[in-house]
A and B are shown apart, each in its own frame.
Chain A
Amino acid sequence: AQKVTQAQTEISVVEKEDVTLDCVYETRDTTYYLFWYKQPPSGELVFLIRRNSFDEQNEISGRYSWNFQKSTSSFNFTITASQVVDSAVYFCALKTSYDKVIFGPGTSLSVIP
Chain B
Amino acid sequence: ETGVTQSPTHLIKTRGQQVTLRCSSQSGHNTVSWYQQALGQGPQFIFQYYREEENGRGNFPPRFSGLQFPNYSSELNVNALELDDSALYLCASSFGTSGRETQYFGPGTRLLVL
Residues of A within 8 A of B (CB): 4, 31, 33, 35, 37, 42-47, 50, 52, 91, 93, 95-106
* A43 CB, min distance to chain B CBs, angstroms: 5
User: Are B99 and A106 in contact, with the CB atoms below 8 A?
Assistant: no
User: Are A45 and B105 in contact, with the CB atoms below 8 A?
Assistant: yes
Scoring B residues 97 to 114 as 1 if CB is less than 8 Å from chain A, else 0, what string do you get?
011101111111010000
* A24 CB, min distance to chain B CBs, angstroms: 14
For the complex, give the distance between the alpha carbons of A45 and B37 in Å.
11
Residues of B within 8 A of A (CB): 33, 35, 41-45, 48, 56, 58, 88, 90, 92, 98-100, 102-108, 110
For the complex, give the distance between the alpha carbons of A104 and B90 in Å.
16
User: Are B48 and A100 in contact, with the CB atoms below 8 A?
Assistant: yes
Known interface pairs A33-B100, A37-B105, A44-B106. Does A100 touch B43 (Cβ–Cβ under 8 Å)? no
User: Are A33 and B107 in contact, with the CB atoms below 8 A?
Assistant: no
* A54 CB, min distance to chain B CBs, angstroms: 11
Q: Can you list 29 A-B contacts with CB-CB less than 8 angstroms, sorted by A residue number?
A: A31-B99, A33-B99, A33-B100, A42-B107, A43-B88, A44-B105, A44-B108, A45-B43, A45-B105, A46-B105, A47-B103, A47-B104, A50-B102, A91-B42, A91-B43, A93-B42, A95-B99, A96-B99, A97-B98, A99-B99, A100-B33, A100-B48, A100-B56, A100-B58, A101-B33, A102-B45, A103-B35, A103-B43, A104-B42
Number of A-B contacts (CB under 8 A): 54
* A33 CB, min distance to chain B CBs, angstroms: 7
* B109 CB, min distance to chain A CBs, angstroms: 9
Q: Which residues of A contact B102 (CB under 8 A)?
A: 35, 47, 50
User: Are B90 and A45 in contact, with the CB atoms below 8 A?
Assistant: yes
Q: Which residues of A contact B107 (CB under 8 A)?
A: 42-44
Partner of B99, one of A45, A93, A97: A97
* B18 CB, min distance to chain A CBs, angstroms: 23
Q: Which 5 A-B pairs have the closest CB atoms?
A: A103-B42, A97-B99, A45-B105, A100-B45, A44-B107
Q: Which residues of A contact B48 (CB under 8 A)?
A: 100
* A75 CB, min distance to chain B CBs, angstroms: 15
